[in-house]
Amino acid sequence: MESGQPNSAAADKTQNSSVPPVEGVAGGGTSYGWVDGGLQASSLGNGAIDPTKIHSADLLHVWSMPSTANVSQQEAPRPLEHVNLLAARNERESFQIALRPKVSWATSGIAGSVQVQCTDLCSSAGDRLVVGQSVTLRHVVPMLGVPDALVPIDPLNSQINLLPGETSAIWVSLNVPCGQQPGLYEGEIFISAVRAEAESRGESLTKSERYQLYKELRNCIDITEPRDYSSSEEMVQRLTSASTTLRRMLALPSFQDCEENNGLGDMMDEDIMNNVAVRLKLSLTVWDFTLPLTPSLPAVFGISETVIEDRFCLEHGTKGWYDALDHHFRWLLQYRISPFFCRWGDSMRILAYTCPWPADHPKAKEYYSDPRLAAYAVPYAPILSSTDAAKNSLRREVEILKSEAHWSKSYFYLWDEPLNLEQYDVICSISNELRSYASDVRILTTYYCGPSGSELAPSTFEAFVKVPNVLRPHTQIFCTSEWVLGTREDLVKDIVAELRPDLGEEWWTYVCMGPSDPQPNWHLGMRGTQHRAVMWRVWKEGGTGFLYWGTNCYEKAMIPSAEICFRRGLPPGDGVLFYPGEVFSSSHEPVASTRLERILSGMQDIEYLKLYSSRYGREEGLALLEKTGVYLGPDRYALDHGPIDVMRGEVAIQEKESAYSTSGRGTMIASH
């Protein structure tokens, strides 16, 4: 994210102020109408503050922050500047708007309410990115005091409450469709202090209007109640009557301004029209290249089916169960990851599967053929029940899938982190069974050590490196923990040296409880660039895939709206990348974490690096990563956002010059 010049004098004069005192520290008193910065309380009068009559810049600080920033509740205000973003087609680029009240203008315990509204982003050619579709706003909500949950803001009711002495943030995402025309898109975001909903609710309608509205709605419901109609004429009469009732409601004086604006209500309210709101100018340059629909790096992430069953009170195999799994699967695909559902057994056995339906079901073809899916897990059903029926079902599943073009994306995930030779023998036994059904079957095994009780090598690390010699040919995807490497990138060559690419063997990596700070991981409270750096590390080390064990593995709960508790014994945030929507509102849509958004950004960074390397070679790609200061090693990477945009910008410039050069040569050839 680049910054320009401050976009208004009113905003500029109020930004350079000190952070207000914290309640209970050095005489804070922040909940008693404190005043932050140079604005004098006397200038607002001694009575209640009416936010509709005072410029919002006099009531709150507004400034922008990059998506890699963790905007804490005590984040200090900065100057308000023009936001410039850069993105390819089929890419999501995000930034944050930080808000901090200077005074309290509400009569309740909050500092006040703020309305955030955004225009469409338009190009000079008339193309646009539409709010609610390509432009989304989400409120950053703290989890364990760390800004993480991204709760969607309703564009029709875009109000959030600010607390005294605390900074809040809005997460703004711009999603560029594959077919979007390249060019410069511009728009504005309006932030206005408003009366709290509870204070203004009674002013929107008079008592008589509220009574009339209630009566008409009640009448409309009575008319349209389900019943057996004696004739089609009666049904038409009742619908006509209901339509008449609804028209009477729309004729109420309170809806007059909506009528004048063709029912849209003109999303910009009167305070904005009167120039009371803080205006943030927003520009997006869409580059003339497109990120691939299928991710170049298979990144497989687990979803616990048992957590879904418990929290949403769903019985395994019911329609509600299938619907819930389907909803989670489709929602996660937007993050360029390939989800798999999982159920854990004894001794870390695992049932992993991408599609809940059998391979001969119509939904299975839809799942496995989705171009956004880079890899999919095939269920090994006998892991739950070793009956003949289960084995026959497995054989049938493999026979169907191996005839499909997408079979090359398939894998079996049988055991998580086997520890001894007995567990290794089980994997080998299952492999023999699967290879009798399909000789080119792929089995993924995660591990962080060699098998105990073996004499593979004299040292622990050497035993770890020699694991492929024990599992060959019963594992094709050797997935190792980044924790084992620590900061020793030079150890990668020892691991890769033991693999046989000629036999289709691959090296994938994963993070779990470790590695810990300062190495890249997705724990709550780590730096934003530290979250994003997980994928930089994967690309630099040369792994061809990545696995993450869980995205929804919080403590067990029996109701959807139950408070989220991270699992005991794990670092906060480990195994949790999104939250149930019901925890925050009545919505059933999952709520992403800032960490999940940064994973998406890291996956997009890989596409940039791959594009650059495809033109100039991998060594040049590695050099770009290092010379821009984005990533040099597991404990040496960018701590702020600037180098990221430099790297992405360099790729875009080179791509543009290459395209121009190619088109120029084509023109010269054609002229001859």
Q: What is the mean pLDDT of the chain?
A: 86
d(CA 661, CA 566): 53
Domains, in order of start, for the chain: 56-196+273-290 (2.60.40.10), 299-592 (3.20.20)
Q: Is the pLDDT of residue 471 over 60?
A: yes
H/E element, 425: helix 421-437
pLDDT band at 661 (very low <50, low <70, confident <90, very high): low
pLDDT of res. 657: 83
H/E element, 65: strand 60-66
Q: Give the dihedral of Cα atoms 67, 73, 78, 84; nearest 10 deg.
A: 20
86 phi and psi angles, rounded to 5 deg: -130, 135
Q: Is the pLDDT of residue 11 over 80?
A: no
pLDDT of res. 396: 96
- Considering only 200-204, 278-282, 526-530, which range has the smallest mean pLDDT? 200-204
pLDDT band at 257 (very low <50, low <70, confident <90, very high): low
Percent of all residues in the chain with a pLDDT value above 70, rounded to a whole number:
82
d(CA 581, CA 588): 5
d(CA 342, CA 348): 11
Q: Which two tokens stand for residue 72?
A: 């804490």
d(CA 36, CA 51): 16
- Give, in order, the Cα–Cα distances in Å from 172 to each of 5, 79, 132, 168: 20, 18, 11, 13
H/E element, 9: helix 9-15
Tokens 């530290």 found at: 530
Over residues 408-447, the pLDDT tens digits come to 999 999 999 999 999 999 999 999 999 999 999 999 999 9
Over residues 291-339, the pLDDT tens digits come to 999 999 999 999 999 999 999 999 999 999 999 999 999 999 999 999 9
d(CA 470, CA 467): 5
- CA 85, distance to chain mean position in Å, is 18
Stretch 374-393: mean pLDDT: 90
pLDDT of res. 102: 96
d(CA 140, CA 150): 5
414 phi and psi angles, rounded to 5 deg: -105, -35
User: Of 290, 299, 377, 363, which Cα lies nearest the Cα of 332?
Assistant: 299
pLDDT of res. 274: 53
- Considering only 75-79, 151-155, 282-286, 348-352, which range has the smallest mean pLDDT? 151-155
pLDDT band at 22 (very low <50, low <70, confident <90, very high): very low
Over residues 631-646, the pLDDT tens digits come to 999 999 999 999 999 9
pLDDT of res. 107: 78
Stretch 279-283: mean pLDDT: 97
pLDDT of res. 165: 94
pLDDT of res. 69: 98
pLDDT of res. 656: 85
pLDDT of res. 112: 95
DSSP assignment of 368-415, as one string? Answer: HT-TT-S-EEPP-GGGT---HHHHHHHHHHHHHHTTSGGGGGEEEEEE
When comparing pLDDT for 381 and 228, which is higher? 381
pLDDT band at 386 (very low <50, low <70, confident <90, very high): confident
- Residues with Cβ within 8 Å of 190's Cβ and at least 6 positions away in sequence, in order, are 115, 116, 117, 118, 268, 272, 277, 278, 279, 280
pLDDT of res. 255: 63
Cβ contact 85:134 at 8 Å: no
pLDDT of res. 35: 40
Over residues 473-503, the pLDDT tens digits come to 999 999 999 999 999 999 999 999 999 999 9
Beta strand extents in 83-166 (DSSP E only): 83-89, 91-101, 112-118, 121-122, 128-129, 135-143, 146-152, 159-162
d(CA 113, CA 323): 37
pTM for this prediction:
0.84
d(CA 36, CA 21): 8
pLDDT band at 458 (very low <50, low <70, confident <90, very high): confident
Over residues 204-235, the pLDDT tens digits come to 565 666 666 777 777 777 767 666 656 677 66
Q: Which two tokens stand for residue 639?
A: 């701590």
Q: Alpha helix locations (H) across 266-354?
A: 270-273, 305-311, 319-333
- Give, in order, the Cα–Cα distances in Å from 438 to each of 256, 399, 504, 549: 69, 8, 14, 26
Stretch 149-178: mean pLDDT: 93
422 phi and psi angles, rounded to 5 deg: -60, -45
pLDDT of res. 155: 72
Cβ contact 132:86 at 8 Å: no
d(CA 374, CA 339): 10
H/E element, 338: strand 338-344
Residue 197 CB coordination number (10 Å): 12
Q: Is the pLDDT of residue 265 over 50?
A: no
- Residues with Cβ within 8 Å of 17's Cβ and at least 6 positions away in sequence, in order, are 36, 37, 38, 61, 77, 102
pLDDT of res. 454: 81
Which 3 state secondary structure label does DSSP give 486?
Answer: coil
Q: Which two tokens stand for residue 610?
A: 């791959």
Residue 460 CB coordination number (10 Å): 11
- Considering only 5-9, 418-422, 598-602, which range has the smallest mean pLDDT? 5-9
Q: Which amino acid, one-letter code, is at 348?
A: M
Q: Which two tokens stand for residue 460?
A: 């622990």
d(CA 278, CA 59): 10
pLDDT of res. 197: 59
pLDDT of res. 469: 95
Percent of all residues in the chain with a pLDDT value above 90, rounded to a whole number:
72
Burial label for 262, CB within 10 Å (0-12, 13-18, 19+), is exposed
Q: Is the pLDDT of residue 198 over 80?
A: no
d(CA 184, CA 282): 10
d(CA 127, CA 112): 36
